[in-house]
Structure 1
Amino acid sequence: MTLRIHALFHTDYEDLSFIKKWANNHGHIINVNRSYDDDALPTPDSFDWLIVMGGPMSVHDEEKHPWLIKEKRLIKQTIEAGKTVIGICLGAQLIAHCLGANVQSSGVKEIGWLPMRLTPAGQAHLLLQDLPKQDFTVFHWHGEGFDCPKGASIIAETDAWANQGFVYQTPLHVESDTWILAWQCHFEVTKKSLAKMIVNGNNAVQSGLTEYPKTVQSPAEIIALGDKYIEANNAMLSAMLNRIATN
């Protein structure tokens, strides 16, 4: 089945990265929206999947970024329509916010390649059977986090922040075999996209190194560790997307 995938971008330097490669390899159709450039948003009937990407802003920055209001409306409409919705970093926080969960500062910044573990719910979940049962290393870049939305299951945690991802289904999702999957981390990064994130987010990295030296890595360390972990992260993401697409 050919999927119509619509992606919401929040900045020019956080794109689909590996997700685009996965979609192209499977013959899926991708359309991209840049609300910050005044792109018109689609309606949920025009796509099968909605992928909500990351960005440096907060879900609460509606005054500074009024286009967030329309994006939240689309996310809610897509959830109500029973469509698959996937969120990454800010995207995960937006989905949690649209589901009524609180999004706030986590009290710590996590920037770099850091260990994460699946919760018991995550280990048991159908979509995550290809992920390691023990701690594994993923790429983080966030300072805010979400509470667990009502009815959702928290699927991963770190020592710094308990809620690193969740899955959720409405009754219509259950009926349609579709999913809402949200991750704080960035399984999708490639060498190219990682370099762009570091260049554009260098100020956040430098301040984080001073304030949170245990959970923020230097640009050089991030790049070096990327050579070690990117391929495995992309493989985990591919496995999850395959399970969602064929479920």
Structure 2
Amino acid sequence: MLSTSTDFPDTIYAVQHLAFEDLGALEDVFYQLGFRVRYFEAGVDDLTKAFQHKGLLIILGGPLGVYESNDYTFLQKEIDLLKVRLKQNLPTLGICLGAQLIAHALGAKVYAGDQKEIGWSTLNISNRTDNLLSALSNTPVLHWHGDTFDLPEHAELLASSALYPHQAFSIGKNILALQFHLEVAGESLEKWLIGHTCELRQANINISALRSDNLRYASALEQVSGKIIQQYLKQIIEN
């Protein structure tokens, strides 16, 4: 277990926007490090407690866009809570939709991209000595999004891809936003293929090829993602 201060909470809070998009491989890492995990369901649960949590909050992905708050009214409440949390500099990790919500809450534009980015590929890691994502230099990650965002003011760009320049950014030590999916676990990715079948077919994605890539790359990503999340936890605990 990481050496934690007595006032750093030992529970990780996670906000889900889709039942099968959970913490994946990261959940086992948290348990191994001595943390507990509590999930909140966006659109169902009151998220106030989650966003006021003094420990780590992880905002997970989902098929919604941050600009769809007229149809999904809970999104605006979530954004309002997130704005307060970010102003307080509480430790927050956003993945995919979570990253877009962070960018939006920080005043950056979030919008539909020119094309879907679905599948496995490597990232272009920014050349920074303190880049949390350095270990991903030669490791393919899973992309699964159609929206993208501008870089928020004062954000440090951590990674880009061939299709989208803004794949990850940080604000200080506590705020981390990842457009790609660091959390995926190979043993559960079939759920994604089932749950997102309409999106995959509309985007003309070869499902068999994507399944093969999942089998080929997920295990290696799990190994690297565990190291990255430990480094991030150490950073926010010591901050």
> What TM-score comes out, normalization by structure 1 length?
0.86
Q: Deviations over 1:56-112 (max 9, x none)?
A: 010011111111112112222221222111111111000000011000112110111
SS state at 1:76 partner: helix
Which residue number in structure 1 is paired with residue 181 of structure 2?
Answer: 186
SS state at 1:240 partner: helix
**Contact 1:14 / 1:53 at 8 angstroms: preserved in 2?**
yes
Bigger proportion of residues as helix: 1
SS state at 2:135 partner: coil
**In the TM superposition, what is the alpha-carbon distance from 1:165 to its structure 2 partner?**
0.8
What is the distance in 2 between the residues matched to 1:30 and 1:56? 23
**Contact 1:6 / 1:47 at 8 angstroms: preserved in 2?**
no
SS state at 1:166 partner: strand
Matched, 1:201 2:196: yes
**In the TM superposition, what is the alpha-carbon distance from 1:244 to its structure 2 partner?**
1.6
Which residue number in structure 1 is paired with residue 157 of structure 2?
Answer: 154
Q: Which runs of no fewer than 5 residues in structure 1 stay unpaired? A: 170-177, 210-216
Which residue number in structure 2 is paired with residue 235 of structure 1?
Answer: 223
Aligned CA-pair RMSD: 1.7
**In the TM superposition, what is the alpha-carbon distance from 1:40 to its structure 2 partner?**
4.5
What is the distance in 2 between the residues matched to 1:231 and 1:68? 33
What is the distance in 1 between the residues matched to 2:122 and 2:135? 17
**Contact 1:75 / 1:95 at 8 angstroms: preserved in 2?**
yes
What is the distance in 2 between the residues matched to 1:38 and 1:130? 35
Which residue number in structure 1 is paired with residue 92 of structure 2?
Answer: 85
**Contact 1:19 / 1:188 at 8 angstroms: preserved in 2?**
yes
In structure 2, relative to structure 1, the CA distance for the partners of 1:242 and 1:84 (3 Å cut) is same
Matched, 1:96 2:124: no
Which residue number in structure 2 is paired with residue 163 of structure 1?
Answer: 166
Q: Which amino acid aligns with 1:239?
A: K
> What TM-score comes out, normalization by structure 2 length?
0.89
**In the TM superposition, what is the alpha-carbon distance from 1:45 to its structure 2 partner?**
4.7
Which residue number in structure 1 is paired with residue 53 of structure 2?
Answer: 46
Q: Which amino acid aligns with 1:69?
A: Q
Percent of paired sites with the same residue? 29
What is the distance in 2 between the residues matched to 1:239 and 1:162? 24
**Contact 2:25 / 2:185 at 8 angstroms: preserved in 1?**
yes
Q: Deviations over 1:133-183 (max 9, x none)?
A: xx54110100010100000011111111111111112xxxxxxxx421111
Which residue number in structure 1 is paired with residue 71 of structure 2?
Answer: 64
In structure 2, relative to structure 1, the CA distance for the partners of 1:119 and 1:105 (3 Å cut) is same
Which residue number in structure 1 is paired with residue 35 of structure 2?
Answer: 28
Q: Which amino acid aligns with 1:131?
A: L
**Contact 1:118 / 1:157 at 8 angstroms: preserved in 2?**
yes
Moved more, 227-236 or 5-14: 227-236
In structure 2, relative to structure 1, the CA distance for the partners of 1:219 and 1:244 (3 Å cut) is same
SS state at 2:132 partner: helix
Q: Which runs of no fewer than 5 residues in structure 2 stay unpaired? A: none
**Contact 1:8 / 1:32 at 8 angstroms: preserved in 2?**
yes
Matched, 1:143 2:146: yes
Which residue number in structure 2 is paired with residue 127 of structure 1?
Answer: 132
- Which of 90, 95, 116 aligns to 2:123? It is 116
What is the distance in 2 between the residues matched to 1:44 and 1:95? 12
What is the distance in 1 between the residues matched to 2:139 and 2:135? 12
Q: Deviations over 1:35-58 (max 9, x none)?
A: 222444316553401100000010
Moved more, 81-90 or 53-62: 81-90
Moved more, 144-153 or 33-42: 33-42
Pairs aligned (count): 228
Which residue number in structure 2 is paired with residue 174 of structure 1?
Answer: none
**Contact 2:158 / 2:169 at 8 angstroms: preserved in 1?**
yes
